[in-house]
Amino acid sequence: MMKKDDFKISITVEAGAQRVFEAINNVRGWWSQNIEGPTAALHDEFIYHYQDVHRCRIQIETMETDRKVVWRVLENYFKFTQDEREWTNSSIIFDIVEDAGTTTLHFTHRGLNSQMECYQVCHDAWTYYIMDSLRQLILTGLGQPTPKEEIALGAMEENRIPHDPGTKSIYHRLLIETPVETVYKALTMAEGLAGWWTPDTRAKPEIGAILRFGFGPSYFKNMEVISLKPYSRVEWRCVKAFEEWIGTTLTFELEPQQKGCMLLFHHDGWANYSAEFASCSFDWALFFRSLKFFCEKGKGFPYPNLMYKIPEGA
């Protein structure tokens, strides 16, 4: 029989074991703010949920100060797997080893293996939350957890603009084989947008922010952020660009899939099927190829490389 290896990952940080231990137990600070219940003492039970896609009940089974934390998954539900109970009775283990001013965290999800239907999604998600979010919480005091869903939804409904059915829309849909968290970051953070669209980017992930994208020395597109639903939806309104762009809305909808993230993009509000409309649709297809490479491989081909210098194998 094929050996079923548990998922494992390790990080080493310039911090003491106490700081690492405290960060692990601050679960809302690095994993998700959508957690109900206590998370910092032996035998505590808490519930994690991500939209209607994933829900689990976890008990803290082991708590050895500055050395080890073990969670036991008591119940689990996945929307996207045939066996909805994958994860049930698995163990999530944090082993802490301090040595000469640095601390190594060995993370193991015992019972999560490559034979499971959820494996790739969970592999990528845990990699993001341990390597990026938990590491940042340890080093800076600020992680990158999934934000509270109720707050994000309220912001979306308040700022969303209705689509005029009499106008035209550009649509694109593609699978990006990374977690929705990675794609959302690439669509909202300046360094992400610069990595796949244009290096001349000024952006911040806030409702009402004006994002500025430069294409050459004298042409800029300005977008107002009108909706943000973390890890689910981003919407902009164009306030400065070619005349046909102004007033159009650009919406990025993200949906978790077994192999990563499905992106549905629609650019709404075009008056006509014009030459600019056709050109824009073609360009978006190329840029989303760049986004896919940026998220999956860490390197896209933003403007001007998109047109003139696409990497080999792209």
List the structure tokens of 23. Answer: 């960060």
pLDDT of 6 > 90? The answer is yes
pLDDT of residue 231: 85
pLDDT of residue 120: 85
List the structure tokens of 197. Answer: 């669209």
Residue 311's pLDDT band (boundaries 50, 70, 90)? Answer: very low
Spatial separation of the C-alpha atoms in residues 130 and 13, rounded to whole Å? 12
Backbone angles phi and psi of 102, in degrees to 5? -120, 160
193-204 residue pLDDT tens? 999 999 999 999
pTM above 0.95, yes or no: no
Angle made by CA atoms 108, 113, 119, in degrees to the nearest 5? 100
Output 244-251 pairs: Cβ under 8 A, ≥24 positions apart.
244/270, 244/271, 244/274, 244/276, 244/277, 245/221, 245/276, 245/280, 249/161, 249/163, 250/223, 251/227
Position with higher pLDDT, 150 vs 86: 86
pLDDT of 230 > 90? The answer is no
Spatial separation of the C-alpha atoms in residues 280 and 250, rounded to whole Å? 12
How much is the CA Rg of the chain, to the nearest whole Å? Answer: 21
Spatial separation of the C-alpha atoms in residues 166 and 136, rounded to whole Å? 47
140-170 residue pLDDT tens? 999 989 888 754 444 444 445 555 668 999 9
pLDDT of residue 164: 65
List the structure tokens of 107. Answer: 């993370």
Residue 51's pLDDT band (boundaries 50, 70, 90)? Answer: confident
pLDDT of residue 306: 64
Q: 166 in the Ramachandran plot: left (φ > 0), alpha (ψ -120 to 50) or beta?
A: alpha
pLDDT average, residue stretch 20-39 = 96
Percentage of the chain beyond pLDDT 70 is 91
pLDDT of residue 50: 87
Cβ atoms of residues 91 and 73 within 8 Å: yes
Percentage of the chain beyond pLDDT 90 is 77
Could you give the count of Cα atoms lying within 13 Å of 132 in the half-sphere of its Cβ? Answer: 14
Instruction: State the DSSP string of 124-160.
Output: HHHHHIIIIIIHHHHHHS---PBPPHHHHHHHHHHH-
Exposed, middle or buried by CB within 10 Å (0-12, 13-18, 19+), for 94?
buried
DSSP letter (8 states) at residue 306: H
